[in-house]
Structure 1
Amino acid sequence: MGLSPKDRKLLWGNAALRCSWCQKILLNDESKSEEPSVFGEECHIVGKNPTSARSEADLSPEEREVYDNYILLCGNHHKVVDDHRQKFTVEKLKNMKEEHENWVKTNLDSSEKQAIYKRYYKEIVNEWAERIDLEYWDGWTHEITVHPYPQMHSKRFEKFSELNQWMLTRILPGLVEEIDIAFMNFNNVLNDLLLTFQSQTTLIMDGTIMRTEKFYQHKGGSSFDVERYDRLKKDYDEHINLVTDLVFELTRAGNYFCETVRDHLDGEFQLEAGKLPVIIAAGICEEAVMCIPQYSTAGREYTPYHNLEDFKVKRYERDLHTEPLEES
């Protein structure tokens, strides 16, 4: 179940992104780590499961997943309190949490806390930008949107799959809700794009390239079935269109995230580079066109991308999309 977004925001905000024991800011030092990251842990005070530390208290499962039953700790001290559960009782951890939050109120002014929050989000944003190849956006998306052979380098696909998992496991404390929403929206689109693209690919060039397979083609060994060919060709065309539309949607999601970062965190983020484009062409010999897909203002009021099935219907309402296939 876990914490609700509201309770997560309270936990991280009231602790000022610091361990409630040692008061260390829960970010790696950039100068000492090649991959700066958040390493705070949301720890149960009363354990989640019967075998967990301090689980004997009479609380329902729902009562164990609220702000009052969590304390923010670094990884080292989370291990200590759970390994020495007789010493670190429920009462002791509640007192530790209360004392730390009082210390935050007394010793940190709002500007100091805002500086910590800003650093927290900047670490995540900068790593995201590097992992998604933001500077080469039009290049790698072009590899997918050029018909009739959507393709991607195998190493890039692996890299983006790792990004997908990295984004999924980031701790988003809700301190800047708009950034959290845009971040999760991007990852939802990325996940569905990777799964959809991979579902009909074959490896070529000694496994270095993933290319969409023409699964409608007759491969011999039986008589040519016109009806089967037409049906599979339509399925293939629809698959190509869906993958293309998901690339457009990912570009929208990327522009949405970058704009949200500029609005709430860093006004100069990607400002010089500008908006993310996609380059499309109707065929190998057709002239390429650069487009900049974006969500409408109204579409940003909520999470713009919900799920793949919803998108299959609503994609035709977007500013850029493939043409629906004619019913046979």
Structure 2
Amino acid sequence: MTLFNGVRPFYIHGRTSFVFAVTLLLVILVFLVIALTFLIILPGIRGKGRLYSFCRIVVSLFVGVIIVVANFTDDWESGYATVITPYKAFSNETITARVGLHVGLAGINVTLTGLPENQLNEVIDYNENFLWSFTMNYDKQYSMGLDRGLPYPIMYIAEKFHSQGPCLVLGQYRFSGHYAMAMMWVAFCAWIITNVLFCMPTIVYGGYMVLVTSTFMIFGVIAFATTQILPQCAIQFGATTLTTSLSSSFWLTLVTALLYFVLGVVVVTMDHCHPDKLKTFFMLDGDGDDDAEMNSGLINQSFTDGYQDVLYLNSMKDGFKNKDFVVHT
């Protein structure tokens, strides 16, 4: 890669997806297949058990989807601004565009859309990821963006998160993102154990694991929220400032965790106050009734067989007595 008059050449970039990446779509597809599988089974359940099963399946899969998908989204923190900015570094040509910054647990996503899209004889519609995961070095990706000749607004925003950048926020965002992601994966493991425990007679243990799952989700949310204590990094485009705030993935994860925590409290409370109703909701009372009925049937059958044996022995004894009487007479 060479320079021309001190300016890096401009190349067509490789587009990357925002929010709905391929990995994200695969995760959603897997959960949809699981949901459809359970929904196909539902018609075979009779009575109120069908409604109870539907509610449990929907709630459980919704929480599982939120836990997994939140790890791959790029909108835990986001912001937009409409700006007039130079399009290329060291150039006086300006464009009117809408720039966006989206922060996830594993990196940032920067968008640039021209208003209109066709300006300076090309389509201005960019979407670039810069990751700080364990396998990706953010500074190296920033250098690769320079080599690819990405537009000035994108590289200007990406520079703010550089390890040697003016804001010095990369360390905190990377630490918070890694810790939040770890908490979310622990919550996913706890979610799997929760579903297993809810299939067992001791339902209260499943309720306890619901509390554990929601607690780890809240820990993950708190971990990412620590980025808000950093000094505000100024992203200035002339007179326009690009500001960010906590976005949809953050609030959706928080609300889901709080609702799941409330459900856990309800399950534990119901187990102590109304265990029979709780077992009815989880369809665990039918087995006990069938066992009781089976045991009752076995007892009745044994009693009947024993009574018949007694009658038979008595009849035999009476026959022998009558026979002896006839012989002696």
TM-score by length of 2: 0.30
* Bigger strand fraction: 2
Q: Rg bigger for which structure?
A: 2
TM-score by length of 1: 0.30
